[in-house]
A = this chain, B = another copy of it.
Amino acid sequence: MRYSRFFGRTTMTVPHDADSVNARLLTQGGFVDKMAAGIYNYLPMGKRVLDKIIQIIREEMNAVDGQEISMPALHPIELWQQTGRDKTADAILYRTKGAGGKDFVFAPSHEEAVTPLAKKYIQSYKDLPLSAYQFQTKFRNEPRAKSGVLRGREFGMKDMYSFHVSDEDLDQYYERVKQAYLNVYERCGVKAYVVEASGGIFSDKISHEFSVVTPAGEDTILVCKKCNIAQNIEIAEGKIHNPHDPEEKELKMVEVKMERGPSIDENAKAHKIEPSKILKSVVYKLQNGGLLGVCIRGDLQVNEHKLSKFLGQEVHPASKEDLEAIGLVPGFISPVGLPKVKGGLKHAAEVYDTHEKGVKEVHRSKESLHFIADNSIKTVKNFVTGANKKNMDLINVNLGTDFTIDDFADLVSIKAGFACSKCGSKLEETKAIEAGNIFKLGTKYSEAFDVNFTDEKGQRKLAIMGCYGIGTTRLVGTIVEASNDEKGIIWPKSVAPFQVHLIALGAEKDPEVKKSAEDIYEVLNHACVEVLYDDRDESAGKKFNDADLIGIPLRIVVSSRTLKEKNVEWKLRTEAEGKLVKYEMAPKEIIEWVYGDCDCGDDDCK
């Protein structure tokens, strides 16, 4: 392709509304053009990248027996009413009216299409498993489109749906797709981790996200490089090391006066102990005003997400006023010395539940405050903690002896530097972009659409479903975010719009340069090498800048200077310096470089 005839050339003008690296580089490089917030045109350069990504995904989906189909974007509202998602997904649905006043939605997802479709072809267990996928445009009325092509209102997606006879069959298939997804990212030249999705508070469905590591990522993940696994920081687990001797002899609890500030640091300093010797109590406010104490080792933080998940409701730290209203002293709170709440957590919940019905607020006193605890307090002896009185502390406090807790859970926030719960290596924190996700849907949709099959015993059963999504246009942006430098994009070879960027310098003045460049161009085209040939009458500086911005892996420069010694310049986008290659050998070497890592299996290929 001659760049002089190419639709969508580079611009050095930074788009005024580019809110991300991908938006800036893809726009300046002539890959995309923003039509409206979250709505992009793909110019030929961007389309080429998108098509390569799609083909990689297609091959991987075919490899796990996915069958490619194509479902409509325009769905009668009745399908969405059947699953209730006309209401639960209302905020993001684009709606329209068709002929005869009929209501339609433009689909942000295709469970409502694929399930009734599959139903028509699933009769017996012999028809299962069945896995179908499509590349389709999705429409999602995002309140705020952002991050370039990462979060669009109209975007491309590969969505696959599978149907199974049993959970076990789904589980096996789910693992195959998980691996296929990892293959996709690897083939697209980015490092991705499987991360268990944090999900919503009430969500107990099993799902995983694929996080691509990049400094500009919106998500934070904790990575164990030894185990090659990553966790969403919101729900990460880790090994909590007890720095103290768990066999330490229990001493007798003593109340002491200690004028100190309320923080853990001030407490530790005052008592000349490690923060990990402090029994920390944090009080949370339940949704309708009730309070709950959470004990944790002084050097650790309570993870609100884990806590909310454990309680089944969203909670927030109580305010100073909340605490003081029931006589608690901030900085000196502890479960020690307070009476146990009858019925424990369940009772607290009951009280909470009945609160709205006008029942007296019995939990609204220090004495009726229920405490739960993180597992970390189990092995430390002789804690220091507050005495529920201003400037009074308790020392040598021991679980089981001086206080008891009925409800333990993993409630600790895991951070970089904590130990991997599998291998004990230090976890590293990194930013990442979610670039795909997979879900075990169970029978949610097969129930809504009554997708039954007859099993081997003649019994009718609901099909078990899974679904698997990768945003194709989002992946374009993700790769750019993960692979760029101050000069522009650095495309991995597998998804680069062209493999070779051929530049002729001064061809308009030196006929030999022109002829030499044209000859290379012709040979490469004949060998089906994808070449972008910069045949414009532009300066070397402009051409080099454009090449760096566009980010094609191999740059070949033909100029009077290189030809003087019968050379061309060979420079990889990933490397700072180029090298000289004999002009005569250049086409052969380029072709070898392009096809050298081809794994098509065809001997003739190389």
A142–B41 touching, CB < 8 Å: no
A44 vs B50: C-alpha distance when bound (angstroms):
22
- CB-contact partner of A7 in B69, B72, B126, under 8 A: B69
A76 interfacial contact with B, CB 8 Å: yes
A39 interfacial contact with B, CB 8 Å: yes
Which residues of B have CB within 8 Å of A95? 96-97
- Give the contact stretch, choosing among A113-121, A294-302, A480-488: A113-121
A245 interfacial contact with B, CB 8 Å: no
A351 interfacial contact with B, CB 8 Å: no
A7–B67 touching, CB < 8 Å: yes
A43 interfacial contact with B, CB 8 Å: yes
Asked whether A143 and B68 contact (CB < 8 A) given A41-B117, A154-B73, the answer is: no
Name the CB-closest residue of B to A136: B137
Which residues of B have CB within 8 Å of A4? 126
Which residues of B have CB within 8 Å of A97? 94-95
Which residues of B have CB within 8 Å of A117? 33, 35, 41, 43
A76 vs B145: C-alpha distance when bound (angstroms):
14
Interface residues of A in 58-112 (CB under 8 A from B): 65, 67-76, 94-99, 104, 106
A139 vs B97: C-alpha distance when bound (angstroms):
12
A5–B65 touching, CB < 8 Å: yes
B121–A9 touching, CB < 8 Å: yes
What's the nearest-Cβ distance from chain B to residue A451, in Å?
14
What's the nearest-Cβ distance from chain B to residue A80, in Å?
12
- CB-contact partner of A98 in B40, B65, B120, B153, under 8 A: B153
B70–A47 touching, CB < 8 Å: yes
What's the nearest-Cβ distance from chain B to residue A45, in Å?
9
A6 interfacial contact with B, CB 8 Å: yes
A154–B72 touching, CB < 8 Å: yes
Asked whether A47 and B76 contact (CB < 8 A) given A94-B98, A106-B106, A130-B7, the answer is: no
B96–A69 touching, CB < 8 Å: no
Produce 1/0 per residue, A176-188, CB < 8 A to B.
0000000000000
B42–A69 touching, CB < 8 Å: yes
- CB-contact partner of A72 in B35, B70, B142, under 8 A: B35
Asked whether A69 and B47 contact (CB < 8 A) given A9-B121, A74-B153, the answer is: yes
Name the CB-closest residue of B to A71: B41
B6–A141 touching, CB < 8 Å: no
A139–B74 touching, CB < 8 Å: yes
B113–A35 touching, CB < 8 Å: yes
Interface residues of A in 275-319 (CB under 8 A from B): none
A143–B99 touching, CB < 8 Å: yes
Interface residues of A in 144-165 (CB under 8 A from B): 144-145, 153-154
Asked whether A7 and B121 contact (CB < 8 A) given A69-B42, A74-B154, the answer is: yes
What's the nearest-Cβ distance from chain B to residue A525, in Å?
13
A76 vs B43: C-alpha distance when bound (angstroms):
19
A585 interfacial contact with B, CB 8 Å: no
Produce 1/0 per residue, A233-266, CB < 8 A to B.
0000000000000000000000000000000000
- CB-contact partner of A41 in B70, B94, B604, under 8 A: B70
Which residues of B have CB within 8 Å of A68? 44, 47
A311 vs B458: C-alpha distance when bound (angstroms):
74
A99–B50 touching, CB < 8 Å: no
- CB-contact partner of A44 in B67, B72, B139, under 8 A: B67
A43 vs B70: C-alpha distance when bound (angstroms):
7
What's the nearest-Cβ distance from chain B to residue A176, in Å?
15
A496 interfacial contact with B, CB 8 Å: no
A67 vs B143: C-alpha distance when bound (angstroms):
34
A166 vs B96: C-alpha distance when bound (angstroms):
41
B7–A141 touching, CB < 8 Å: no
Which residues of B have CB within 8 Å of A126? 4
A104 vs B461: C-alpha distance when bound (angstroms):
43
A223 interfacial contact with B, CB 8 Å: no
What's the nearest-Cβ distance from chain B to residue A387, in Å?
54
B69–A36 touching, CB < 8 Å: no
What's the nearest-Cβ distance from chain B to residue A193, in Å?
30
B96–A96 touching, CB < 8 Å: yes
A132 interfacial contact with B, CB 8 Å: yes
Which residues of B have CB within 8 Å of A141? 98-99
A344 interfacial contact with B, CB 8 Å: no
Which residues of B have CB within 8 Å of A137? 73, 137
A8 interfacial contact with B, CB 8 Å: yes
B69–A35 touching, CB < 8 Å: no
A67 vs B1: C-alpha distance when bound (angstroms):
10
Q: Can you spell out 19 A-B residue pairs with CB atoms less than 8 angstroms apart?
A: A6-B67, A7-B118, A35-B113, A36-B72, A39-B74, A41-B70, A41-B71, A41-B72, A41-B113, A42-B70, A44-B68, A47-B69, A50-B70, A73-B137, A73-B139, A74-B154, A94-B97, A95-B96, A96-B96
Other than the known A8-B121, A41-B69, A99-B142, what 5 A-B pairs have Cβ atoms closer than 8 Å?
A35-B71, A35-B113, A73-B139, A99-B153, A604-B604
